[in-house]
Chains A and B, each alone.
Chain A
Amino acid sequence: MLRDVMGKTFRLLGYTIQYGCIAHCAFEYLGGIVVCSGPSMEPTIQNSDIVFSENLSRHFYCIQKGDIVIAKSPNDPKSNICKRVIGLEGDKVCISSPSDFRKSHSYNILLGGQSKAWAQSKDLVCLQLLWRQEHSLTWKVYKENSQIWPLNDFGFLRASPNGHRFLDD
């Protein structure tokens, strides 16, 4: 009787460990669910929206301008920030007034929140070390990314309302 119970317990433990490892690998290498908080990405992402994100673009280094990314905060490595990429290496991005351009350096990706008050997050604009800080990526609007919560607003993440700020080389 006791041996039956022990056998069942060990089997359950084995299954738990197995599926735990698979889940961990999936979250680490494929993607996962992220809860976003804060107003800086409105109207695209509202406070406490739940967003699906994927890691494959990060591992294959195919991040593009206009993508929404989740990265580790440069000032606090334990927290993540969710912003839209508005410039890649070599791009010129307007950060103050339209007449004041600044060239970005190699592998400096300039980010900006999407709200009209993005100039206040100037410290985050030049995330020098973005590449490997990226935790995961959300897909662009025409790939299969979806907001899950709130249910009345289920759908793909929209394109940037600040699209005029992107300079096409």
Chain B
Amino acid sequence: MGVGGGHWSPKNPEQKIIKRVIALEGDIIKTIGYKNKYVKVPHGHIWVEGDHHGHSFDSNAFGPVSLGLLHARATHILWPPRRWQKLQPMLPPERTPLHSDQE
């Protein structure tokens, strides 16, 4: 959770998009601009969101993402050199699930 995941775009099969994992299967979360205000993430799916809310094409637009579409986990920024850093797996406190099956 909180980790940046790269996955294939549900809208364009030739494109990969990179977002943060906010919730795993079984979690109930409050959405931002999705058609349902509260969503329970279905089995075998994850909920991803971009860090820049409101300007992000993420699960708030296309819903939960199936785990089969997950491609990789982003660990570091390599370029440009002044932005070398490890990507921290951090869940924003205002985006924690309302109820988590993982506990």
A residues adjacent to B (C-beta < 8 A): 61, 71-77, 106-107, 128-129, 131-133
Contacts and interface: CB of A to CB of B under 8 A. Distances in A.
Contacts of B62: 128
Q: Which of A75, A107, A132 has the most CB of B within 10 A?
A: A132
A75 B42 contact: yes
Contact of B69 (A75, A76, A106, A129): A129
A129 B44 contact: no
B101 interface: no
B68 A74 contact: yes
A162 B10 CA distance: 28
Contact of A77 (B10, B13, B14, B67): B67
Interface residues of B, number: 18
B27 to A, nearest CB: 16
Interface string B33-62: 000000000111100000000000000001
Contact of A107 (B10, B43, B63): B10
Contacts of A131: 8, 13
B44 A77 contact: yes
Contact of B68 (A61, A72, A106, A107): A72
Given A74-B44, A77-B68, A133-B69, A128 B63 contact: yes
Contacts of B96: none
Given A73-B68, A77-B66, A77-B68, A132 B44 contact: no
Q: Which of B45, B65, B66 has the most CB of A within 10 A?
A: B66
B12 interface: yes
